[in-house]
Structure 1
Amino acid sequence: MNSLLNQLLRGCARFWPQPLLANRRERLVSCVGAALGLIITELVCRYAFGESIPWLLAPMGASAVLLFAIPASPLAQPWSIVGGNLVASLVGVSCAHLIPDSSLAAGVAVAVSIALMFPLRCVHPPSGAVAITAVLGGPVITQLGYGFVLYPVLINSLLLTAFALMFNNAFKRRYPHAVHAQPAKPAINISEPVQPNAITQQDIHAALTRRGEIVDIDEEDLLEIFKAAQEIANRNALPQQEIGIKRAS
Structure 2
Amino acid sequence: MRAFLDRWLPSPTNANAKEQARAAAGALLGILLTALVGHLLLARAGMSIFLVAPIGASSVLLFALPASPLAQPWSVIGGNVISGLVGMALVRLLGDSVPLPLLAGLACGGAIGAMFVTRSLHPPGGAVALTTVIGGAAVQAAGFEFVLLTVLIDSVLLVAMAIAYNNLTGRRYPHTQQLAHPNPHATGDAVPTVRLGFKPEDLDAVLKQYNQVLDISRDDLEALFLQTEQRAYNRRFGIISCADIMSRDIVSAEFGTGLGEAWAAMRAHRVAALPVLNRARRVIGIVTQTDFLEHGGLDDYGSIRQQLRRFLRKSGVTHTEKAEVVGQIMSARPTTARVDTPISDLVPLMADSGFHHIPIVDAEQRFVGIVTQSDLVAALYASRFTETAA
TM range (shorter): 0.5 to 0.7
Conserved? CA contact 1:78–1:176, under 8 Å:
yes
Greater helix share, structure number:
1
Matched to 1:42, the amino acid is A
Give the match for residue 119 of structure 2: 121
Alpha-carbon distance, 1:103 to partner: 2.2
Partners of 1:85 and 1:130 within 8 A in 2 = yes
Structure 1 residue 187: Cα displacement: 6.0
Greater per-residue strand proportion? 2
Paired position in structure 2 for 1:95: 90
Distance 1:84 1:51 in 2: 22
Q: Which residue pairs with 1:58 in the alignment?
A: 53
Matched, 1:179 2:177: yes
Residue of structure 2 aligned with 1:80, choices 55, 75, 81: 75
In 2, distance between residues paired with 1:67 and 1:185?
Answer: 33
Shift in alpha-carbon separation, 1:57–1:10, aligned structure 2, 3 A: same
Which deviates further from its counterpart, 146-155 or 22-31? 22-31
Q: Aligned-pair distance for 1:195?
A: 6.9
Look up the match of 2:10: 17
Indicate which of 24, 29, 43 corresponds to 1:31: 24
User: Cα 1:44–1:131, aligned 2, differ >3 Å: closer, same or farther?
Assistant: farther
Q: 1:195, 1:129 → 2: CA distance?
A: 43
TM-score w.r.t. structure 2 length?
Answer: 0.44
Give the length in aligned residue pairs: 193
Q: Structure 1 residues 159, 195: CA separation in 2 closer, same or farther (over 3 Å shift)?
A: closer
Identity over aligned pairs, percent = 45
User: In structure 2, do the counterparts of structure 1 residues 44 and 135 end up closer, same or farther at CA, with 3 Å as the change threshold?
Assistant: farther
2:36 aligns with 43
User: Match of 1:72, as an amino acid?
Assistant: A
User: Structure 1 stretches (4+) deviating beyond 3 angstroms?
Assistant: 8-12, 44-54, 181-184
Q: After TM superposition, give the deviation of residue 120 of structure 1 in Å.
A: 1.5
TM-score, structure 1 as length reference = 0.67
Contact (CA 8 Å) 1:92, 1:110: kept in 2 or not? Answer: yes
Amino acid at match of 1:78: P
Does structure 1 conserve the Cα–Cα contact (< 8 Å) formed by 2:85 and 2:147? yes
Distance 1:11 1:142, change over 3 A: same
Q: Which runs of 5+ in 1 are unaligned?
A: 1-7, 197-214, 231-249
Superposed counterparts of 1:229-240, under 5 Å:
none
The 1:132/1:195 distance shift into structure 2, 3 A limit, reads closer
Q: 1:151 to 1:51 in 2, by over 3 A?
A: closer
Q: Given that residues 52 and 150 in structure 2 are in contact (C-alpha distance below 8 angstroms), is that contact kept between their aligned partners in structure 1?
A: no
**Aligned AA (1:134):** T
Preserved contact between residue 52 and residue 151 of structure 2 (Cα < 8 Å): no
Contact kept in structure 2, 1:41 and 1:57, CA below 8 Å: no
Q: Which has the higher contact order (CA 8 A, sep 6+)?
A: 1
Q: CA offset at residue 51 of structure 1?
A: 9.5
State the alpha-carbon separation in 2 of the partners of residues 33 and 195 from structure 1.
39
- Could you tell me how far apart the structure 2 residues matched to 1:195 and 1:156 are? 45
Partner of 1:153: 151
Q: Matched residues in 1 for 2:2 and 2:22: separation?
A: 36
Q: Offset of 1:12 from its aligned partner?
A: 3.4
The unaligned stretches of length 5 or more in structure 2 are 183-188, 199-213, 230-390
Letter in structure 2 aligned against 1:120: T
Report the equivalent of 1:236: none
RMSD of aligned C-alpha atoms?
Answer: 3.2
